[in-house]
C-alpha cells in the first residue's frame, strides 16, 4: 500500500510509533524513524533489524527548527522525496492542576503541539516540491472527552485536532492531506504495567470488550497514509472501541 513512498515517523522508537514503523515497512515504504535520544533510536533500529526490517533513524531536537530542517534536507537529498510525515512524538500528564507548574504545562504543549508545528512547517516545502504528500498526527480520545486530571495533555490534543482540521483546508490545494488518529486505551508498555484492578474496570467501559493494540492504531495510520484514503482530509479518526470516558 505504500510502495515507493518515503515516510518519517516521530516518536518511532516504542509503542504506537514503533508499531507504525513496522506496518509501514511491511507495506514497502522507506521509513525513517525519529526519537528523542541516540540510544533509543539505535536500540529501535537494532530491534527492527532482528525482525528483518531495515530502517534509518535520527534524533533531532524537535524544539530546534533549524536542526529539523537540516535533517529533512539530508533525508530529501538521500531519498529524493518525502511523502508521509507521522507526527507521533508526545508526552502525557496525569497531575491535578493544583500540582502542575506552569513550566510542566508549557513543556507538554511544547512537545505535543509546538514540535508538531515545527515538523509540519519544515516538511511542507519538500512535499510541495514533489506535488503533494500526507501529514498524520497522533491525537487522543481525551481530545474529545477530556480527562479527570492532567489538563495539559487533553489541552494539547484539542490543539492537535485544530491544527489538523485547519491545515487540511490550508494545504489541500498543494495537495497535502492532513488527518489525525485518536487512540483510546492502547496496550502499550505504560498500560501493560498497570495492575489488573485498574485495567479490568477500564475494559468494562469499552463496548468492544478489550483494550486496543498498537497495531490497531498503526493500521489506521496505514489506511490514512495510503491512496485508499485519497479523498479523506481533515478527519480525526477514533480508534477506541467506541469507548467513552
Q: Would you please indicate which residues are annotated as catalytic (active-site) residues?
A: 153
Residue 97 buriedness (CB in 10 A; 0-12 / 13-18 / 19+): exposed
Backbone dihedral region for residue 240 (phi beyond 0: left; psi -120 to 50: alpha; all else: beta)? alpha
Distance CA 167, CA 198 (A): 38
Contacts of 136 (CB under 8 A, 6+ apart): 84, 85, 86, 87, 178, 179, 180, 181, 221, 224, 225
Contacts of 73 (CB under 8 A, 6+ apart): none
Listed residue (218, 91, 206) closest to 155, CA to CA: 91
Query: How many CA atoms are closer than 13 Å to the CA of 222, on its beta-carbon side?
Result: 21
SS3 161: helix
Indicate the helix (H) or strand (E) that contains 32: strand 30-34
Amino acid at each position: 500500500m505504500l510502495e515507493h513512498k518515503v515516510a518519517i515517523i516521530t516518536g518511532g522508537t516504542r509503542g504506537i510509533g514503533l508499531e507504525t514503523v513496522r506496518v509501514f515497512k511491511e507495506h514497502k515504504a522507506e521509513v525513517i524513524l525519529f526519537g528523542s535520544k541516540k540510544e533509543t533510536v539505535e536500540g529501535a533500529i537494532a530491534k527492527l533489524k532482528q525482525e528483518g526490517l531495515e530502517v534509518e533513524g535520527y534524533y533531532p531536537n524537535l524544539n530546534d527548527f533549524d536542526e529539523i530542517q537540516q535533517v529533512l534536507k539530508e533525508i530529501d537529498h538521500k531519498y529524493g522525496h518525502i511523502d508521509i510525515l507521522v507526527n507521533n512524538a508526545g508526552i502525557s500528564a496525569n497531575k491535578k492542576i493544583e500540582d502542575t507548574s506552569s513550566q510542566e504545562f508549557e513543556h507538554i504543549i511544547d512537545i505535543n503541539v509546538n514540535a508538531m508545528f515545527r515538523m509540519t512547517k519544515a516538511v511542507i516545502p519538500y512535499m510541495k516540491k514533489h506535488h503533494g504528500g500526507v501529514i498524520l498526527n497522533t491525537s487522543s480520545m481525551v481530545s474529545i472527552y477530556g480527562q479527570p486530571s492532567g489538563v495539559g495533555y487533553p489541552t494539547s490534543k484539542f490543539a492537535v485536532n485544530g491544527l489538523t482540521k485547519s491545515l487540511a483546508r490550508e494545504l489541500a490545494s498543494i495537495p497535502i492531506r492532513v488527518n489525525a488518529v485518536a487512540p483510546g486505551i492502547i496496550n502499550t508498555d505504560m498500560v501493560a504495567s498497570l495492575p489488573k484492578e485498574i485495567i479490568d474496570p477500564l475494559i468494562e467501559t469499552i463496548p468492544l470488550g478489550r483494550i486496543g493494540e498498537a497495531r490497531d492504531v498503526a493500521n489506521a495510520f496505514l489506511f490514512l497514509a495510503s491512496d485508499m484514503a485519497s479523498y479523506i482530509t481533515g478527519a480525526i479518526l477514533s480508534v477506541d472501541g467506541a469507548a467513552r470516558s
